[in-house]
Amino acid sequence: MTEAPVLAPGLDEVTRQKVRGLVGLGMRGRLVVVGSERVKIEAQKGAIFMAIVAMDVSRHSLDKVVPTLRARHIDIIEWPSAAELGAVVGKETTAAVGIADQALARGIR
């Protein structure tokens, strides 16, 4: 069994700006789920095509969602901070964001 690839752990600023814009677009179109618990639930349903995970959150938060994403072979993008990821989706902080639209996920890749 192969693991889901971790995409670009060291994203450059231009790429991060592109991801921010596409995730914001997805938020407006309700194509994004926010929060580790919701991402985990939607991944279990097979409704997530990609996930963005903040790397500065607690191990407990990561352990809630990352094993499910890997088991489902869902691509994971590592994001530097929960505060920055939260700002993208209009929250103070968030540990994970799931992309629920295949075309949007393809655009982010």
Digit-coded pLDDT (tens) for 17-37: 899 999 999 999 999 999 999
Query: Identity (one letter) of the amino acid at 2?
Result: T
Task: State residue 4's pLDDT score.
Answer: 54
pTM, rounded to two decimals: 0.86
Average pLDDT over residues 72-94: 94
Residue whose C-alpha is closest to residue 102's, from 46, 49, 29, 45: 49
CATH number for the domain whose boundaries are 6-108:
3.30.1330.30
- φ/ψ of residue 21, rounded to 5: -65, -45
H helix intervals, 1-109? 13-28, 36-45, 59-71, 82-88, 102-108
Which helix (H) or strand (E) segment holds residue 50: the answer is strand 50-54
- 77 near 5, Cβ under 8 Å? no
